Structure 1
Amino acid sequence: MSYRELATRPVLTWCAVTTAARMPVAMAPLALVFLVRERPGGYSLGAVLAAVYVVGEIVAAPVLGLRMRAERARPQMAAGLAVGAAGFAGLGLASGAHPVALGLLAFLAGAGPVAVSAGLRALLTSMVEERSVTQALSLESMLTFGIWAAAPALTTGLALGAGPAVPLLLQAVLMGLGLAGLWLLPAGWAAEPQTKDRAARRALLAAWPVYVLGAASLTLLALAELILPALLEQRGIGIGWAGPLLAGFSIGSVAGSFLYGLRPSWPGPLAVQSLVLVLGVTAGVALVALLPGALALGAALVAAGLLQAPAMLTRNLALRRALPPSALAAGYSMMYAAVGAGYAASGTLAGGLLKVVAPSTAILWGVGLTLVLVAVGAAGERRLVRNRDGAEPRPEQEKSVRAPST
């Protein structure tokens, strides 16, 4: 299967709808900072609003994900995008409102559409043949990293060139376009009719090791993004290098997504692939703390990004294998919440450590936290795979089970 075979009208339509729905999410934190930066204590207030936005995502992701039904996903995703569009429009139109009101709007903007990303991913994998799922998820990963790379420049340009409220208003318009575009896509995806809510919840809880490994990989991204400016100052490198270096990480991630999707499968079980890839990213981030010079840092970040995207892809593939189709959207939403929590935890740890240790030491402490999460997740996933394999019927058992129906 090649990427060329994904260039069909339904998949290209999905890409357009996904871009419209996800670009506002990628723009949100920086847009909130620019929205209030000219008010007294503006940067602090902007940071608080961005944090409230992320809290809305983390809190709502598992709740809304569990409520999404495979066969009628469209109205639920449309409602989420409508709430998000209303939240962003309110922020843009009432930028001078009381901080509490802005916080409530930011919470709604984060919480409303949080399950849409998971629903769109489940929809994409249902639109292609089973042998094409890896390529489809790789395409999604490339699109996502491209959106996240473009969003900061778009937000900054509009906020400084047109006005601080303009990015928020554009985000509302984009979410409205994404909402309308849902009617160009299938209404939902197939699910086993015998899957009960209780069984689906048990499967979601049993997949906790997959979420932990997903959180571990995002703790590394938080380290790379949040401590890099301070590390550059420690190394005597111009802080202006932070943007190009992080862009190198994103470019590496796009390349990693593309390369991983060139093959329908890779050697070894998904659990082993994921473990090796996350450890590779960990090594790359550790090198960032140890290597001198902007070029060496850039090489380490590009290498880390090259492995980061396949690491997340293997997590999504493992989750797809562990869950019934009816629970996929909920599983992706719980993964979203887990990685968001991992990012927030790593960012909090980094902020506290920077007050008492050098930036390079703070990165290494964060790497240590990641290794703890990796060890816990890997041990749990080994048990999960063993239990799943033990529960699968052997050929003679399968034959005896099916015999009465023949």
Structure 2
Amino acid sequence: MGYRELATRPVLFWVLVAVGARLPVAMAPLAFVFLVRERPDGSALGAGIAAAYVIGEVVGAVALGPRLRPARARGQLAAGLAGGACAFAGIGLLPDAHPVLLGALAALAGAVPAAAPGGLRALLTAPLPEELVVKALSVESVLTYAVWAAAPALVGGLALGVDPALPLLLAALLMAAATVGLWALPAGWPAEPEDRRGASMARTLARAWPVYLTGAAAMSLLALAELVLPALLEQRAIGVGWTGPLLAGYSVAAAAGAALYGLRGSWPGSLRAQSLVLLLAVTGCVAFAATARSLPWIAGALLVAGLLQAGVLVTRVLSLREALPPSAHAAAYSVMYAVVGVGYGGSAALAGAVQSAATPSVTVLAGVGFTLLLIAASALGDLRLPRAGQAPPGSGSR
């Protein structure tokens, strides 16, 4: 089966809803920075508001994702997206409000719709035959990278060319449109009674911790590429203006990689082996970029890293589906969403600490070492990770 089998009205509606739900998320951090940059200490304030937003996302994904119920998921997702739309609108309409209020609204904007990524992924894959799931996840990855590639240009153009509050008002409008669009999607996904007889949802989700750790490792590499790249280019006497084109190229390569991964029905090795091999290859590319001396080599390393990173994204989602029962998939996607946010934040904190005392290239290599530790822990834990339908050690038969 090819991508043409996905060209249906339900999938098209899902794409429109997903864009409306995810573009505000991609726009938010930079939009906060532009909103308050003219204030005293505007850069620090913008970073603080963005941090509050990310913390809200992490907390919301962990708290709300596992509470999604298959039979009424659409209503729960709609409530979350509507709340997020109101919070974004509040920030856009009150740009001069006290920083504490802006931070609280940003945390709310991150938290209340945080179950949407996992819930929407479940709504996409649940009605599809198993042979189309890989292609559907590849399409989702292409969409994700396209959204993240477009968001900075959209925010910059609106904030600098029209009004700093406009990106946040657009985010509110998009999220409200996604709320309405949810009613064109299924109400939920089938519940499986046999999945409710075993361990609690928390214990079920905890079984897949090595897969979550792989997600954190992958996101830590992305943080290195985004946050240290300007300083690395400056260290190599390369114009910092190349940062944007290089990161855009990374995103385009990742979108292409996701499409290529889905073209083939299966790849050699298990899903988890594929994920670890691809992640090690991406780590090698990032390390090579840190030691490269010229722009073409750095660009080539980032393009290859983006191409392979897309495979990591798809395989880790498929690994979650393999490790956990269907009733836990949406909750697991939300936990993964939270964990990758923690991975990004942890790598950013490490990069900031190391860069204050070392060169940018050493900072990247330190981050690569941190990523390799996460990969090693994930690989060791993976040896004991049960497959779907297999009871975890000590649980007895079901």
Structure 1 CA distance, aligned partners of 2:298 and 2:128?
39
Q: Deviations along 1:368-397, whole A, 9 cap, x unmatched?
A: 0000000001110121148976879xxxxx
Aligned partner of 1:70 in structure 2 is: 70
Amino acid at match of 1:372: L
For 1:266, what is the secondary structure of its paired residue?
Answer: coil
Structure 2 CA distance, aligned partners of 1:30 and 1:390?
44
Q: Deviations along 1:144-193, whole A, 9 cap, x unmatched?
A: 10000000000000001110000000000000000000000000011202
Structure 2 CA distance, aligned partners of 1:218 and 1:191?
31
Seen in structure 2, the aligned counterparts of structure 1 residues 153 and 379 have a Cα distance that, compared at 3 Å, is same
* 8 Å CA contact 1:235, 1:292 repeated in 2: yes
* 8 Å CA contact 1:200, 1:324 repeated in 2: no
Structure 2 CA distance, aligned partners of 1:72 and 1:150?
32
Structure 2 CA distance, aligned partners of 1:194 and 1:126?
17
Structure 2 CA distance, aligned partners of 1:378 and 1:359?
29
- After TM superposition, the structure 1 = structure 2 runs for residues 236-275 of structure 1, keeping only pairs within 5 Å, are 236-275=237-276
* 8 Å CA contact 2:324, 2:387 repeated in 1: no
Structure 2 CA distance, aligned partners of 1:102 and 1:141?
31
For 2:259, what is the secondary structure of its paired residue?
Answer: helix
Number of positions where the alignment pairs a residue of Structure 1 with one of Structure 2: 394
Structure 1 CA distance, aligned partners of 2:303 and 2:389?
36
Aligned partner of 1:339 in structure 2 is: 340
Aligned partner of 1:404 in structure 2 is: none
Amino acid at match of 1:106: A
- After TM superposition, the structure 1 = structure 2 runs for residues 98-137 of structure 1, keeping only pairs within 5 Å, are 98-137=98-137
Aligned partner of 2:59 in structure 1 is: 59
Aligned partner of 2:182 in structure 1 is: 182
Q: Deviations along 1:298-325, whole A, 9 cap, x unmatched?
A: 1000000001011111000000111122
Aligned partner of 1:290 in structure 2 is: 291
Amino acid at match of 2:297: A
Structure 1 CA distance, aligned partners of 2:56 and 2:48?
12
Q: Deviations along 1:328-386, whole A, 9 cap, x unmatched?
A: 11100110111100000000000111110000000000000000000001110121148
Structure 1 CA distance, aligned partners of 2:274 and 2:71?
32
Amino acid at match of 2:52: V
Amino acid at match of 1:145: Y
Amino acid at match of 2:280: L
Structure 2 CA distance, aligned partners of 1:149 and 1:339?
18
Aligned partner of 1:173 in structure 2 is: 173
For 1:91, what is the secondary structure of its paired residue?
Answer: helix
Aligned partner of 1:228 in structure 2 is: 229
Deviation of residue 271 (structure 1)? 1.1
Task: State which structure, 1 or 2, has the greater radius of gyration over its C-alpha atoms.
Answer: 1
Amino acid at match of 1:340: G
* 8 Å CA contact 1:203, 1:322 repeated in 2: no
Identity of aligned residues (%): 59
For 2:385, what is the secondary structure of its paired residue?
Answer: helix
Structure 2 CA distance, aligned partners of 1:359 and 1:391?
43
Aligned partner of 1:365 in structure 2 is: 366
Aligned partner of 1:38 in structure 2 is: 38
Aligned partner of 1:395 in structure 2 is: none
Deviation of residue 294 (structure 1)? 1.1
Aligned partner of 2:211 in structure 1 is: 210
Amino acid at match of 2:344: Y
The runs of 5 or more residues in structure 1 that have no matched partner are: 393-397, 402-406
Seen in structure 2, the aligned counterparts of structure 1 residues 108 and 386 have a Cα distance that, compared at 3 Å, is closer
Structure 2 CA distance, aligned partners of 1:286 and 1:385?
32
For 2:383, what is the secondary structure of its paired residue?
Answer: helix
Structure 2 CA distance, aligned partners of 1:49 and 1:151?
18
**Residues 1:330 and 2:315 are matched in the alignment:** no
Aligned partner of 1:24 in structure 2 is: 24
Seen in structure 2, the aligned counterparts of structure 1 residues 81 and 362 have a Cα distance that, compared at 3 Å, is same
* 8 Å CA contact 2:60, 2:113 repeated in 1: no
Seen in structure 2, the aligned counterparts of structure 1 residues 161 and 388 have a Cα distance that, compared at 3 Å, is same
Structure 1 CA distance, aligned partners of 2:91 and 2:147?
22
Structure 2 CA distance, aligned partners of 1:142 and 1:43?
32
Aligned partner of 1:12 in structure 2 is: 12
Over aligned residue pairs, what C-alpha RMSD do you find?
A: 1.6
* 8 Å CA contact 1:200, 1:326 repeated in 2: no
Q: Give the structure-1-normalised TM-score.
A: 0.95
* 8 Å CA contact 2:323, 2:388 repeated in 1: no
Structure 2 CA distance, aligned partners of 1:291 and 1:382?
35
Amino acid at match of 1:133: V
Aligned partner of 1:377 in structure 2 is: 378
